[in-house]
Amino acid sequence: MKTSRRFTRTERAASCGARLGLLALPLATTLFAAGAAHAAVVGEVIAVYDVWNARRAVMSASNGGSFQSLPCRGGDLSHNGSPRYFVGSVAGTDWLPDKPEPMHNSVLVASDEDCAETLVIFDSPSMRFSDMPRWSHAGSRVAVYAESWDLVDGVLVESGIYVADVTRDGMGRPVGITGLHLAIAAPGQVLISWSGDDQRIAFVASAPNGSGGLQGDIWVHDLASGTSSNATNSTNFNEDHPAFSPVDDRLAFIRMVAVRGTYRYDIFTQPASGGTVTQVTSKGTTGAPQNLFPCFSPDGQYLSFVSGSGSTAPILEFDVFRIKADGSGKATNLTGRRAGNFRIPAWRR
Q: How far apart are CA 111 and CA 88, in angstroms?
A: 8
Cis geometry, peptide bond prior to residue 314 (ω within 30 degrees of 0):
yes
Helix segments in 209-322, DSSP class H: 283-286
Residue 117, Cβ density class (10 Å: 0-12 exposed, 13-18 middle, ≥19 buried): middle
Where are the chain's structural domains?
A: 1-19+36-71+189-349, 86-186
pTM of the model: 0.85
User: Is the Cα torsion angle 73, 76, 79, 80 positive or negative in sign?
Assistant: negative
**Cis amide bond preceding 83, omega within 30:** yes
Say which CATH topology domain 1-19+36-71+189-349 has.
Answer: Neuraminidase (2.120.10)
Omega of the bond leading into 289 within 30 degrees of 0 (cis): no
> Longest C-alpha distance within the chain, in Å?
60
Find the length of the chain.
Answer: 349
pLDDT score at 207: 85
Comparing CA positions, the residue from 336, 291, 305, 325 lying closest to residue 63 is: 336
**Could you read off the pLDDT tens digit of each residue along the chain, which spans 349 residues?**
333 334 333 333 333 333 333 333 333 323 333 334 445 566 677 766 666 666 666 655 455 556 667 766 667 888 876 678 889 888 899 988 887 778 889 999 998 877 788 899 999 999 999 988 999 999 999 999 999 999 988 899 999 999 999 999 988 899 999 999 999 998 888 889 999 999 999 999 988 887 778 888 999 999 999 999 999 988 778 999 999 999 999 999 999 887 877 889 999 999 999 889 999 999 999 989 999 999 999 999 999 999 988 665 555 688 889 999 999 999 988 887 666 778 888 888 7
* Beta bridge partners of residue 129, listed in sequence order: 146
pLDDT computed for residue 20 by the predictor = 35
**Residue-level pLDDT at 80:** 72
Whether the CA torsion 307, 288, 255, 244 is positive or negative: it is: positive
Element (H, E) at 161: strand 155-168
Is the CB of residue 297 less than 8 Å from the CB of residue 303? yes
DSSP state string for 298-340: TTSSEEEEEEE---STTS--EEEEEEETTS-SPPEESSTT-SS
Residue 322: name the closest of 64, 74, 66 by CA: 64
What pLDDT was estimated at residue 56? 67
Question: What local confidence, expressed as pLDDT, does residue 12 receive?
Answer: 36
Helix (H, G, I), strand (E, B) or coil at 247: coil
**pLDDT value of residue 64:** 55
| Separation between Cα atoms, residue 125 and residue 97, nearest integer Å | 11
pLDDT for residue 40: 59
pLDDT at 194: 97
What CA–CA distance (Å, rounded) separates 55 from 46? 12
